Structure 1
Amino acid sequence: MRKDESKFITKFFSEPGTQKKNNDYFGFLQLDNYAIWVVADGFDAEEGAEIVSKLAVESVIEYFMLHPRFNTEVIKEMIDYANLKIREKQEETERYSLMHASLLVVISNYNSFLYGNVGNTRLYHMRNGYIVSQSSDDSIAQLLVEEEALNVNDIKFHRQRNDLLQAVGDYGKIKPNLIKEPVSLEQNDVLCLTTIGFWENVEETEMEVEFSRQENLDKWLESMKNAVISTLRDDVENNTLAIVKIEEVASPEPVEKDRRKFYLKVVLIGAAILIILLFLVFFNIAKRNEILKRATIYSQQADDELMKKNFNNSIEDLKLELGEYEKLKSKRRGIIGFLSGIGQDKSKIDGLISENKKKMEQTEKLKKAFQDVNQGNELFTSGNYDEATEKYQAAKYALEEISYKRDELNINEILETLNTRINSASKLKEAQMLEISGNQAVTAGNYNLAKENYKAASEIYLSNGRADYVANIERKISEIADKEKTEYNGAMLVENQADMLSPTDINKSREAYYKAREMYQTLGDTVKTQEIDNKIQEINSREMAKLQTANNLVKEGLSQLAANNPAEAISTLTKAKIMYEGLKDHNNVSNVEKFISQAQSFIKYESESEKKLKDLEVDYSERLKQQEIMSQQALIAKEAEIAARQNEIERERIRREQINKRIDEATNLEMQGDQQYSLGRYSEGMNKYEEAKKILEELKNSGDFEVQNSKIEYLDKKKVKSEGYLYEKEGDDEAKKKNWKEAEKKYQSSLEKMKEVNESSEIQKNIEKKLKKATKKANKKWWQFWK
């Protein structure tokens, strides 16, 4: 017996990991001449996982006991038998109908071994302490390895390592991974049968290192168990490791060949060939008619699906129809085809195939066109009108080339609808730009311009079926009204403060009136602006009237003083002083105080001797005359000063109005430039920016108003940016005309402008792409027509 010649030692462990129960199962059997080892891993997520693994192992060993052999055929038979038993259990108990398992079978004649597996159970073959080979998995991750899209060492970390292609318990046939030739065993070789719970948590290098470190199999097995436990994974599946150490090997024995199947296949093939030879001609004729019938059905189905706009189904049916015609092509070859009459239909079949391919090509175009229409509708609804127009244009170009089922699908009506949508998209884009310009005008405080833009945008929205946008526009107009109301209230508050200050403090009142005037001017209320101007004129007139009254009182006081009525002079001059103090005219206050002091001195000395008075009368009369002349001169100078001051105030008011008007003009020009830019009218936008820049430069150079350089530089940047887009647009126009040299110059100029203003890299890359294409086309020679 070969078993006595050899010495095979089997040890294993099987643990549940972090799961509630262990769904792995291991079994082995050593007969006199052959041995078998089997491990199964039931799917944890399915009912009956522990039952399916045990049933699979027991079924394989049961079959091997009844039919012990050493060849790949018996491994295939055992796995099929286990699959059959599991299927019977699934049908017997409904709650087990989904149970599946991975399975690994290893057999040996005590000199070499064969194996086969289904799923992701794995076999390692170790020699001299190193893993020399391992089995393949039936998983998506293994397919990626075979396609060289994944490293074999990364399988255990890949998320699709448990996505299996097949397992025992599947319906239909399964194709186990079978080793083709026996692998010879040597003394001290080790076979390791594992489930995924072991090999995904233990590195192969770790197995090799621990094998070299441990004294015997028990300690190595224990270290492997500890390695699984110490894994960093939170979720550890059931894990099983079965090791078979070969301490002695039996003498070689040839692999048994199962000749029965070979002879049976020869007999069956011979009979089949005989039957085919007898009935092939008649069968081909019947098959041809059946193929043509099926092709006709597929063609009708394709037309029906096309009318329902199920383009994918229509294409699939056309492919099936084409497949039927291809079958006819294969059947028309040779003597059988000739005798069947199929060979004589060559031109007819070729015509049907050509017509089918044309239908398929046009159906693909229809599919893409209707996809573009649907996507365009979604973009149109969401307000992305440029992208929607691109989709509509692409659909339009495709539909214009369609001839297949054109009338049935109402292509002409669809094209009319697309043209309407394209026109609406253009107008709605203009409405969007008007709305954006309105937003910018609101930010700049120009509410009248904002309302004009909003109303124009609202009319376009209404006329193009986007009434849902009008509510938002109306809300914005309402917000402008609220802002205007708030700012009107502020202006009125400042005006009221000026009114209250007017009787008591003319200077502060005038400043408040100027502030209110600016606020009304910003709001565009010319009526209130004029009212404020009238009030300013009124307080100026009142101030002049008070000043004139005070001057008259000074004249009267000096006259009384000259008429030797000092007491009345003091009373009159005191009234003039009070009025000067109210006007904040400190110079005249000081002069009047001197006059009052002189009058008081005159009264003080009035009681002195008549002689002294008479002596001084002449001298005092002269002094009074001189003082009167001086007072009159001072009064004339003051009047001139007040007139000059009034003129200065008026000039300042006019200057401020002119500056505000120029700033408003520059702001409006800039916003008009922004509006032209947003509408793609770059030349008009550049002109507007240049006009706004000239106004700001004039104000800056005049010194009347402080203008920041950053504002002028910002306008320059906008102008250069518009110029860059203008060059790009002109380049596109030249490219459409095939004037590639001119297009190349325009794109080059556009790219330079975009770099100058640091436009986004995406825009620059797009222009560079166009420039490369234009350069390539411009440099193409006449003989390079294929380019």
Structure 2
Amino acid sequence: MRKENCDFKTGFLSEAGSFLQNKDYFAYTELDDVACWVAVKGLDADQEISSAELAVKAILEKFMEKPAMSRRAINKYLRHAQNILQAQSLRVRLKASIVIVVSDYSKMIVGVAGNSRLYHFRNGTLTYRSTDQSLAQEIVNSQNRSLDISQHEERGNLLNYLGKPNKFQPFVSKKMKLTDGDVLLLCTAGFWGDVSEIEMADALEGVKDSEQYTDLLEEILLSRQRKVVENYTVAAIFVNKVYQETNKNKMKYIKMIAAALVLALVVGGGTIFYQVKQAKKLAELTVEMKDHEKSGNVYFQDGNYDEALLAYSEGRNAAKKLKDPIHRNLLARKLRVTQLIINGDKSAETGKFTEALEHYEKAKKEGKLINGFGKEEVEQRIANMDSVVEIVDAIKDADFRFEAEDYNGALAIYEKARKKALAISFTGETQIKTKIEDTEEKINELKKVQKELKAEGLEKSGDQSYARQEYVQAIESYTLAQEIYQETELLAKVLGLERKIMNANDKLNPVPQVQPADNALPNEAEPPVDEVTDAS
């Protein structure tokens, strides 16, 4: 009875966000010797069938029928859910992204199809994150560099998922050991897309249980104040106490360790070898820590704060492993300053200027403790705040004009706002650029409609001229209309007018009739029939 000799606590929440229907689903079951947790995000638009709920129930049904913790068993659970979704795809193709965790209360195995995720924290540090099956992940893997997938435009372009028509290939991990105090976090893309790994780790400090942790994470998510909040699901498993192996197994491990020690003594120098190995490991960690700090500094100077945040976080983790409190605190403060600048920029972009100034002032204060780190960047932002206010106000005005379909007026204001944004390196400049592109697209659409209306008018005028047998005027109107249709790429209209032009030309220049030869005799009429008088 493993469950009675361990302590696993699960807390979760799953919400619809800004939508009426929640397409996410989470459920779990804890049996005597093995447990299963499943989080799924529905990816289809079916309003009657919940693909996420269908997948979760299919998994747990199969699991409870044959509970097991092996890669082969988990593969079977996932393929069973895959078959169920394919069989139920009647109106639309049912699709879902899934993460499943199976544990025997001392180890775990993770299965993934799509981009729902598992995060594994130990001592407040992220030790494992499941790999997405997306194009963004493939790009990261192929380029072999660190990249914030949550901001990548291809993060939702899934290469594998439940319901895939063919070549369904889920990822199933090897067994991973659990220890007392571990925290497992299952979540869908609606959550991890807005809450960073650093925030997940930082939120662990001071929380007492899984429910308090998920509530705090939800506060972080909602503090982003997005106009549209996606469906989101997050489940936290606090591994307060893992199942301890029996004395029989312990003796087996003790004998193995004893044998290893005897071997080391026979060979000689075992202790020295261990010390050298430890020293080498510490040296590698020191180099890793310094490299991450150096990379973070470069990213920070370049204004790439998201990458700097990640580098400082990895450096701090290395410092924790080294048990180096000086560098740990130094990197933690750099991390804090960077995060405050990011938060300030986001607040400024959304027009929360007072909140933005508070973040910048806090960043300035934190930076003073480490030789004025970030002082120049923060002071520049504070000095530019008046310009930022003007830019944000201008964007609001342009947005209003855009909604009122005054696209030319909106475009002029957007372009002026972008020019100011470029002058002060305002972080919202890319958003303004996108708005300009959207506005230009609307203007081009209107121009196209106007051209089409003009062409239709010319075609109608040509039809009227043709009806009056004014074929020259008809051809002129048709030709002008045809040129406009060619510009707007309405090929069917172009071909239709080509036929009308040919018909008008035929009427204007009729084909001459063939005249009979001079010696040809006219058709002889039948001779009249002589009247016959009835003699009788």
Which TM bucket (shorter chain)?
Answer: 0.3 to 0.5
Whose helix proportion is higher, 1 or 2? 1
Q: RCO greater where, 1 or 2, for CA within 8 Å and sep 6 or more? A: 2
Larger Rg: 1
TM-score normalised by length of structure 2: 0.45
Whose strand proportion is higher, 1 or 2? 2
TM-score normalised by length of structure 1: 0.31
